[in-house]
Structure 1
């Protein structure tokens, strides 16, 4: 009987691993196709999808940089916007989440309900109004409109509130208060380490969103020196509107370069996600 039960558990585990393996392959397939297409010529690309690498990578890179593709500038611009907006979003959202979890005040539920309601409003609804507002403030061709809105990140606040609800322990804060720590010191020394896995999770999502953000920079920025990397890649596809042949192999090469920082950030931050939620708080 016991042997039969163990065999059943083993079979279920194998089935779960198989399902996870299939889902992993399906999620990696688009990236694999993109990397392969970056090595193929235009003729090969029009012939259909293939997982076999071509021999036109060097040609595609020459074409890519021949389009006035300033990789260093694009990387710097995108990194500057993505890093600062992500850091601001995490810090301010963590402050808000800590206040909603740790303190009791009038209107607390109303504030949290307002945060949840903001998540349900599509960003496209306010896009035109935001653009007109930036014109009035004379903030076109400026990174401020791409960075400051990250301070108001209702999705991050909501996630961190839910996360803190599982790891928050009032005794840590009370002990720090007895030692004479101020509220801001408690937040920095005790609560932030406690929230590290949650912060790492939202840092990945925030960085990816900011790095891949294309529509808003396209609306606000017209100076080529301020173009982010996705905008630089898009300029190559715009050649088709002028009757020129679009070198899609070069476009895929640019896209492959553009996703490299995202993968690096994920590999760095994913180690923090698996860490214990309360370990940092105990040490603090």
Structure 2
């Protein structure tokens, strides 16, 4: 009997060992599949940037005829033609001024309006909020003629005001910040601020805005990229080439008879770098906010 029991136990131990090995193999295969998929996605995302960098270092003839996979030696020449054709660094400064101003205004007033829709009760609130959401369904291009005439009436053509001021009324930003205020701003915090004698604006600035920082960082990425790449509005509103932002200046890059693709790709490289820097800085705020919320929970 003892011998039989030992044989059974040995068999069970062997089966358990095989089962554990099978489970470990399955886990390893699943982990390999996940990492392979992530590497494939990362490669797909980075491929356009690599292609852009490689193309900017080749001559126009090579860009038109070949599939370019290796960097060339024409980057400096393309850059010289670029700065000879358009004042690219003036356009860079113009774009930074427009984008930073518009993003700051959009974030502040979107947070303020979203907070108002979320935490205050007043007559017609739901109707007003539905009207804000309704504007998201109308393409901005449909109102460009009326917008141009309105700016002409206000004598704002060929200035930055028509490009910056509309950022105050960002329908998506208001909707996004309202949802964030609903989920991440407890009413008890607001009541405690009122008990301590804080005014409504002080409560918003001292209590609400710090709690909304991860959400503001997320919205800031969308606002920054959207305004940085804005092409249609500056092209219609601005007449002076010295006032144009980067996207319009890059479109103006031409050689004697045709588009200078080499110089144009150099301009695109210059325009993409600030977006990558801004995203890398702001994404840390998003991650830190999420981590802090997880630790508090």
Q: How does the TM-score come out when normalised to structure 1?
A: 0.90
SS of alignment partner, residue 127 of structure 1: helix
Q: Which runs of 5+ in 2 are unaligned?
A: 1-15
Q: CA–CA distance in 1 between the matches of 2:69 and 2:102?
A: 36
CA–CA distance in 1 between the matches of 2:146 and 2:29?
56
Q: Is the 8 A contact 2:87 2:242 kept in 1?
A: no
Which residue is equivalent to 1:15?
A: 33
Q: 1:184 aligns with which of 188, 201, 206?
A: 201
Evaluate the alpha carbon distance shift between residue 9 and residue 172 of structure 1 in structure 2; reply closer, same or farther with a 3 A threshold: farther
- Backbone CA RMSD of aligned residues: 2.2
**Quick one: structure 1 residues 101 and 9, their matched pair in 2 at CA, closer, same or farther if it must change by over 3 Å?**
farther
96-105 vs 3-12, greater mean Cα deviation: 3-12
Distance 2:177 2:113 in 1: 9
**What is the total number of aligned residue pairs between the two structures?**
276
User: How many Å apart are 1:249 and its aligned residue?
Assistant: 0.8
In structure 2, the partner of 1:30 is 48
Cα distance in 1, alignment partners of residues 124 and 31 from structure 2 = 47
Q: Deviations over 1:159-211 (max 9, x none)?
A: 11122222111111111111111110110011101110110111111111111
1:151-170 equivalent positions in 2, closer than 5 A: 151-170=168-187
Give the superposition deviation at 1:108. Answer: 2.0
Task: Kindly indicate whether residue 278 of structure 2 is the aligned counterpart of residue 268 of structure 1.
Answer: no
* Number of the residue aligned with 1:124: 141
The match for 1:104 is 121
Q: Which runs of 5+ in 1 are unaligned?
A: none
Instruction: Confirm or deny: 8 A CA contact 1:40 1:57 kept in the other structure.
Output: yes
Distance in 2 between residues matched to 1:16 and 1:140, nearest whole Å: 53
Larger Rg: 2
Work out the CA distance in 1 between the residues paired with 2:111 and 2:165: 16
Once the two structures are TM-superposed, the CA of residue 49 in structure 1 deviates from its matched residue by 2.6
Note if contact 1:196-1:277 (Cα within 8 Å) is conserved in structure 2: no
* Aligned position for 2:68: 50
SS state at 1:74 partner: helix
